[in-house]
A and B are shown apart, each in its own frame.
Chain A
């Protein structure tokens, strides 16, 4: 075919190719056209015809912009750059910047061409090279070409000087060490009159200040005055058509100057002082009705807020922001909110004056503005204004967009939990939030609410009644409605199960409450509706089953009806619900005598532990000593037999009360997927590890086991390690490992009677879940003056990592100060030390220092741990040093 007639031959002009591609009607057609054109370009590249190189590259760039691969053209860029003519170089550099990025190896090949072009006699070619270098240079190129660029800062033509200045910015960003070479030439450029050179020099100086402390000091000392004068001249300059933007001479230069002054003024009172006048002038004289003017004002405010304080200027700045806030233009309001955010730290009172306007912005139609405003409100909240602000935000929850609810609820929850003045208010607000946007809150939030309610014993009645009322009034769940709030429902049924008796008897009425009449069957109705709702997930239903079991004891008259509801779930597809149904049925029907004990009210959940766990920290195993005398508020005074029963029931799992790490509250609520035996007993026995410990140790007293401790120790460990599963041991195991050994043996002997109790489903094989190995503690080091013991635990899910808690005890009669423990391990191990609990070790074993650390064994299973230690401390100011090697670690760590 004649090449002129075929639009896709290498002979076509760029314009014709673009036209042909634009004429394509479908994406497939376009792809085909581009494939053809690419083939033609490849062929032309292979012929290596220099006449078409220029055109091919231009075409490739267009194809690249449409999103097609063009890597085969990369070498063509380099060839174009290397050719002598200006047109080829120009398109070659453009292609280089567009088709390549600084991480590609090919780029290294261009360094030499760049070097030649930077020294070219044609200033436009020098300009092209500078432009390419400024846009894509890598650290290596920066090192190689920095001297050339530095020289070009003094080039005769200002257009090259300005390009070189910006190129230098890129170079010092890539290689900050080179900064010092540029300080002198950069400051020299600040004296220029040419706006292009001046603005680039100002930017270069700003970046020098950012990368080098010395440069900052130098420029601050030598140039502040000059810069202030330049800004003054600029602000007072008469109309100049070349640089005028809506009545202001070169707003870009204004802004860059203000930016550099900000860097110079920050943290330096003298420099700040010298710029006060000009800032005041710019702040007051700039007419603010055009974008450019507002941009200058905005920059000016930012500088005023950052430099060292001047009360008058700050008032001026906040005033400008206030004006911005009431502007109708969304852009202006956005920047005002942005700026107020920074002003808050300097002057919260001044910002608070605009509270109402800011709250309005939270409700803006514009997502960007809403987000800014919400962040601002969040930092504005304090103890005194938390109530009105929260009320506003909560009321807005009802009307706001779905996609904003997530952010908004998160912030409300954070505000409420941080600043709530009293618990009753906290509970009220959280109920409102859960009702409005319960599906947007995180699990921690509703769990935290339960913890708070559980802790506020005087509010138990109030909370359960409030939840009940809210439930009824809002129709949270009807069988047909799709409006359901999972989180709210969970809290409500938990409370009704726990405090059902307070609900119907109106116990603990507060003055502000209205009396409500709720019958026993009303409460059961509510839970029945819940459990029948298909939209709720099985966790909620499982909680509902537990609540029913509790109510069966609290409301004996409804017991039979409850049993009927529960029985319906014995064939449920969800194993968890099925198991619970069968167990609970068995408890209600056949074990009346222990039921009331089983479903005792939950012991108060420890807020501090909860918060601690939320933060992800491990529970402090050391704080629970064996046979501790922690008294439970409502779980201890029990007859011994029932305790033994309980213990037996529980014993199946005693090695592993399956609370998995952070989910402990889940466990408390009996929602976990643990073996059946546990769920029956968990209302009492699983109330946190403390309770379990207590029960176990009390049990051991009631049934003393006389076995030599060494023996029982090993047997306990056998059992524990026999039931290894892929789930590694979890935090409660640490606690267990510090249990008195006798209690452990009790739990072993208890296996048989437990079968008795749970005969209803004895066919279910008792599973042991979730237990890793427990390792005995070792005495890692002992000298006449010091004893060091290690406790071990494994990190869940990571068999290689061992958590070790080291405990140091001083055996001498002198106090040790400046106590430091150091450890070293061979290469196949990794060691991470946490800070020690203290640095002073009291004499005669009257206290200890503990220190946690983690060892990761990359050869786990093949090599055991080994460690060298060094301990230094001072006795009456005299340095002491002890060293040793520890090789008696348990194997398999």
Chain B
């Protein structure tokens, strides 16, 4: 199972953290510190796996961002790489050639998309189309709520005129 997902920029800034196993807030920042120094210092030609505290951290760099997933020792590392790629492709389709800035200003959307792909540290949906459809449906709900709120306030405004 996946224990956590981290997105770290090349400068070591955290862009996304998702925890599927219980780590206290203190442990979380320690884990991030340890792993970012280990992963950022690895050269480009090396393999994408780091053994860490009895777990395996699979990472892959896309432009300026490192996507890291911490797995159990006996999980399939190559599959984890594919999961990372799957997530990146989904982000890419959603944002339209995604870049780091997209993920900074819309970090919550990156989380929502991840929540449609992984759940409880396991793979939830393997179809990018389905994922995006679900996200779109939920955004429609948001829009509807907004419109309702604004129409409500205009009704109130009219009534109080």
Residues of chain A touching chain B, judged by Cβ–Cβ distance below 8 Å, are 15, 18, 22, 58, 61-62, 65-67, 85-87, 90-91, 94, 97-98, 101-103, 122, 124, 127, 130-131, 134-136, 159, 162-163, 166-167, 169-170, 195-196, 199-200, 203, 242-243, 245, 250-253, 255-256, 259, 291-292, 294-295, 298-299, 302, 330-335, 338, 365-369, 371
Give chain A residues whose Cβ lies under 8 Å from the Cβ of B107.
61-62, 65
Residue with the greatest number of chain A CB neighbours at <10 A, chosen from B22, B48, B76, B128: B76
Q: Does B45 count as interface, using CB distance less than 8 angstroms? A: yes
Name the residue of chain A whose CB is nearest to the CB of B131: A196
Give the distance in Å from the alpha carbon of A832 to the alpha carbon of B77 in the complex: 44
A81 to chain B, nearest CB (A): 15
A199 surroundings in chain B (CB, below 8 A): 123-124, 126
- Using an 8 Å CB-CB cutoff, how does the interface string of B108-145 with A read, 1 for contact, 0 for none? 10011001000110111111111000100110011001
Note all chain B residues with C-beta closer than 8 A to A122: 141
Interface contact A299-B79, CB-CB below 8 Å: yes
What's the A-B contact tally at a CB cutoff of 8 Å?
A: 168
Pair B122/A291 contact, Cβ less than 8 Å: no
Which residue on B lies nearest to A19, using beta carbons? B105
Give the residue of A66, A131, A250, A294 whose beta carbon is less than 8 angstroms from that of B115: A131
Known: A18-B104, A250-B126. A330 touches B19 (CB 8 A): no
Whether A103 and B105, one on each chain, are in contact in the complex, defined by CB atoms closer than 8 angstroms, is no
- Is residue B85 within 8 Å, beta carbon to beta carbon, of the partner chain? yes
Q: Is the CB of B22 within 8 A of A103?
A: yes
Q: How far is the CA of A163 from the CA of B116 in the complex (A)?
A: 9
**In the complex, which residues of chain B have a beta carbon less than 8 angstroms from the beta carbon of A15?**
105
Nearest 6 interchain pairs by C-beta: A295-B78, A330-B47, A134-B120, A166-B119, A366-B46, A170-B120
Quick one: closest B residue to A334, CB to CB?
B47
Cα A338 to Cα B119 in complex, Å, equals 27
Task: Point out the residues of chain A lying under 8 angstroms from B15, CB to CB.
Answer: 65
The smallest beta-carbon distance between B21 and chain A, in angstroms, is 9
The CA of A629 and the CA of B64, in the complex, are separated in Å by 77
Q: A250 contacts which chain B residues (CB < 8 A)?
A: 126
Q: Once the chains bind, are B112 and A94 in contact (CB under 8 Å)?
A: yes
Contact status A101-B23, CB under 8 Å: yes
Tell me whether A334 and B49 are in contact (CB under 8 A).
Answer: yes
Q: Chain A interface secondary structure, helix, strand, loop or mixed?
A: helix
Residue with the highest number of chain A CB atoms closer than 10 Å, among B83, B111, B146: B111
Known: A159-B134, A166-B120, A245-B82. 6 other contacts (CB 8 A): A135-B120, A162-B124, A196-B124, A200-B124, A252-B82, A331-B77
Report if A195-B79 is in contact (Cβ < 8 Å); known contacts: A58-B108, A135-B120, A167-B120: no
Does B126 contact A253, Cβ atoms closer than 8 Å?
yes
B89 to chain A, nearest CB (A): 9
Q: Mark B6-45, 1 if CB is under 8 A from A, else 0.
A: 0000000111111110111100110010000000000101
Query: B81 near A: Cβ within 8 Å?
Result: yes
- Distance A844 CA – B24 CA, assembled complex (angstroms): 65
Q: Does B51 contact A (CB under 8 A)?
A: yes
Complex alpha-carbon distance, A203 and B120, angstroms: 11
Contact pick for A98, options B17, B20, B46, B130, CB 8 Å? B17
Q: Which residues in B have their C-beta under 8 angstroms from that of A367?
A: 46
B50 sits at the interface (CB 8 A): yes
B48 proximity list for chain A (CB < 8 A): 330-331
Docked complex Cα distance between A497 and B106 (Å): 74
Q: How far is the CB of B11 from chain A (nearest CB, A)?
A: 12
Most buried by B among A66, A98, A333: A98
Which residues on A sit within 8 Å (CB–CB) of B51?
Answer: 368, 371
Q: Say whether, besides A65-B15, A331-B81, A242 and B123 are in contact (CB < 8 Å).
A: no
Which residues of B in the span 72-90 have a Cβ within 8 Å of any Cβ on A? Answer: 76-79, 81-83, 85-86
* Chain A residues whose C-beta falls within 8 Å of the C-beta of B46 in the assembled complex: 330, 365-368
A367 to B126, CA, bound (A): 33
Determine how close the nearest CB of chain B comes to the CB of A291; give it in whole angstroms. 5
Identify the closest chain B residue to A159 (Cβ). B134
Chain A residues in 8 Å Cβ range of B32: 67
Most chain A CB neighbours (cut-off 10 Å) among B16, B47, B77, B130: B47
Q: Which residue of A lies closest to B28 (CB)?
A: A101
With contacts A15-B105, A135-B20, A135-B119 taken as known, whether A292 is within 8 angstroms of B82 at the C-beta atoms is yes
A-B contacts, 8 listed (Cβ < 8 Å): A18-B104, A65-B15, A87-B141, A94-B115, A159-B134, A242-B129, A245-B86, A252-B86
Give chain B nearest CB distance to A110 CB in angstroms.
Answer: 15
**Quick check: B104 and A255 within 8 Å, CB to CB?**
no
The answer to whether B141 touches A255, judged by C-beta atoms less than 8 angstroms apart, is no
* A649–chain B nearest beta-carbon distance, Å: 54
Cα–Cα, bound, A85→B105 (Å)? 23
Contact of B47 among A167, A294, A333 (CB under 8 A): A333
Residues of A with C-beta under 8 A to B19: 97, 101, 135
Using known A-B contacts A166-B122, A196-B130, A331-B81, determine if residue A368 contacts B47 with beta carbons closer than 8 Å: yes
Minimum CB distance partner of B125 in chain A: A196
> What residues of chain A lie closer than 8 Å to B146, measured between beta carbons?
87
Q: Known contacts A163-B119, A251-B82, A294-B78: does B108 contact A91 (CB below 8 Å)? A: yes
Which of B19, B119, B127 gathers most chain A CB within 10 Å?
A: B119
Contacts of B81 in A (CB 8 A): 291, 295, 331
Task: Kindly list chain B residues whose C-beta atoms are within 8 Å of the C-beta of A253.
Answer: 126
A61 engages B108 (CB within 8 Å): yes
Partner of A134, one of B86, B108, B111, B119: B119
A97 contacts which chain B residues (CB < 8 A)?
Answer: 18-19
With a cutoff of 8 Å between Cβ atoms, the chain A residues found around residue B16 in the complex are 65
How many angstroms between the C-alpha atoms of A403 and B73 in the bound complex?
A: 23
Which chain A residues border B18 with CB–CB below 8 Å? 97-98, 135
In the bound assembly, the distance between CA atoms of A163 and B86 in angstroms comes to 19
Residue of A nearest to B85 (CB): A291
Report the bound CA distance from A203 to B1 in whole Å.
Answer: 10
Contact, CB under 8 Å: B137 / A124: yes
Within the complex, what minimum Cβ distance (angstroms) separates A348 from chain B? 21
In this complex, what residue of A is CB-closest to B27?
A: A101
Which of B50, B105, B128, B129 counts the most A-chain CB atoms under 10 A from its CB?
B105
Residue of B nearest to A58 (CB): B108
